């Protein structure tokens, strides 16, 4: 309901930036596909989506799908290459590399330890859960979301063990926050893809992403810390 009725009100009617980087190239042949190739195209699309939902590595599922599409004649080799949108691919690679670099150099771990150390004398479970959600949300804004969960989940466990409390609630909230922080392009490669497709500016993404993040945080803290209380 929030995504359908509330968030669109913060999005512009017209693109704020050029959207040419996500436009594909015109296909050379316009004749209809044969029934077999048409079914093959739909089938590969559905199979790739299901494979991604089942946890198959994204590069494996998409690569196999692309090979089947070209080998089956749904697209020619040149058509497939022309419609790859290399700008988006390179942007995705850049975001992943930056997030992994910050994680591997210890920058993300340093930030996580700094925020986790502030919870030492807090006994209210909802405050602890909210703190972990806020920390993960803010860290995801400048780091890749997978890097944030990789760093914060062990810290959440260590912090809760040292306090003698159940770590399951904070772990859930760390994961929830890392998937809810969609206010900057650095959080995940999906954000710059959406910005390019819709022609959205950083200001628009911030406004549209902040409200769902706050709502998910409030509801998530109430549910997670009620099901897995600290005491």
Among 44, 62, 84, the domain boundary falls at 84
Q: How far apart are the first and last CA of the chain?
A: 34
In a domain, residue 16? The reply is no
Whether pLDDT at 107 is above 90? no
In a domain, residue 108? The reply is yes
Q: What's the confidence (pLDDT) of residue 220? A: 95
- Report how far residue 127's alpha carbon sits from residue 117's, in angstroms, rounded to the nearest whole number: 14
Task: Please indicate, yes or no, whether residues 157 and 190 belong to a single structural domain of this protein.
Answer: yes
Check residues 193 and 130 and name the one with the higher pLDDT: 130
In a domain, residue 137? The reply is yes
Task: Please indicate, yes or no, whether residues 137 and 212 belong to a single structural domain of this protein.
Answer: yes
Q: What's the confidence (pLDDT) of residue 21? A: 47
Task: Please indicate, yes or no, whether residues 56 and 107 belong to a single structural domain of this protein.
Answer: no
Check residues 219 and 24 and name the one with the higher pLDDT: 219
Residue labelled with tokens 């959207």: 19
Check residues 223 and 18 and name the one with the higher pLDDT: 223
Among positive and negative, which fits the CA dihedral 142, 145, 150, 156? positive
Task: Please indicate, yes or no, whether residues 120 and 205 belong to a single structural domain of this protein.
Answer: yes
Provide the residue range defining the domain that includes 126.
Answer: 2-11+86-227
Task: Please indicate, yes or no, whether residues 201 and 213 belong to a single structural domain of this protein.
Answer: yes
Task: Please indicate, yes or no, whether residues 112 and 204 belong to a single structural domain of this protein.
Answer: yes
- Report how far residue 148's alpha carbon sits from residue 99's, in angstroms, rounded to the nearest whole number: 9
In a domain, residue 177? The reply is yes
Instruction: Decide if 207 contacts 195 (C-beta within 8 A).
Output: no
- Report how far residue 132's alpha carbon sits from residue 115's, in angstroms, rounded to the nearest whole number: 8
Assigned token pair, 211: 């409200």
Check residues 27 and 63 and name the one with the higher pLDDT: 63
In a domain, residue 19? The reply is no
Question: What's the pLDDT tens digit per position in 14-40?
Answer: 777 766 544 444 445 556 778 888 899
Question: What's the pLDDT tens digit per position in 131-182?
Answer: 889 988 988 888 777 777 877 787 778 777 777 778 899 999 999 999 888 8
State the pLDDT confidence band at 102, using cuts at 50, 70 and 90. low
Instruction: Specify the number of domains making up the chain.
Output: 2
Task: Please indicate, yes or no, whether residues 79 and 128 belong to a single structural domain of this protein.
Answer: no
Q: What's the confidence (pLDDT) of residue 23? A: 47
Helices (H), 10-85: 35-53, 58-71, 77-82
Give the count of beta carbons closer than 10 Å to the beta carbon of residue 188. 22
Task: Please indicate, yes or no, whether residues 108 and 159 belong to a single structural domain of this protein.
Answer: yes
Task: Please indicate, yes or no, whether residues 58 and 108 belong to a single structural domain of this protein.
Answer: no
Give the count of beta carbons closer than 10 Å to the beta carbon of residue 229. 13
Task: Please indicate, yes or no, whether residues 123 and 41 belong to a single structural domain of this protein.
Answer: no
Helix (H) or strand (E) holding 140: helix 125-142
The predicted model gives 51-57 an average pLDDT of: 88
Task: Please indicate, yes or no, whether residues 6 and 115 belong to a single structural domain of this protein.
Answer: yes
């Amino acid at each position: 309901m929030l995504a359908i009725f509330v968030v669109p009100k913060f999005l512009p009617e017209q693109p704020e930036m050029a959207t040419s980087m996500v436009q594909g190239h015109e296909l050379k042949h316009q004749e209809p596909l044969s029934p077999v190739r048409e079914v093959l195209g739909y089938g590969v699309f559905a199979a790739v989506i299901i494979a991604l939902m089942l946890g198959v590595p994204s590069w494996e599922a998409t690569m196999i799908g692309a090979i089947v599409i070209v080998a089956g004649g749904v697209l020619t080799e040149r058509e497939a290459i022309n419609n790859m949108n290399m700008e988006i691919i390179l942007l995705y690679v850049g975001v992943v590399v930056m997030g992994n670099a910050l994680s591997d150099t210890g920058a993300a771990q340093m930030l996580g330890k700094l925020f986790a150390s502030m919870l030492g004398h807090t006994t209210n479970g909802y405050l602890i859960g909210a703190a972990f959600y806020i920390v993960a949300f803010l860290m995801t804004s400048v780091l890749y979301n997978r890097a944030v969960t990789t760093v914060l989940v062990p810290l959440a466990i260590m912090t809760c063990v040292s306090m003698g409390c159940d770590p399951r609630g904070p772990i859930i909230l760390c994961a929830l926050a890392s998937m809810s922080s969609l206010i900057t392009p650095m959080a995940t490669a999906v954000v710059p893809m959406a910005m390019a497709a819709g022609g959205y500016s950083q200001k628009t993404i911030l406004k549209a992403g902040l409200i769902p993040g706050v709502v998910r945080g409030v509801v998530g803290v109430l549910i997670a810390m009620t099901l897995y209380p600290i005491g």
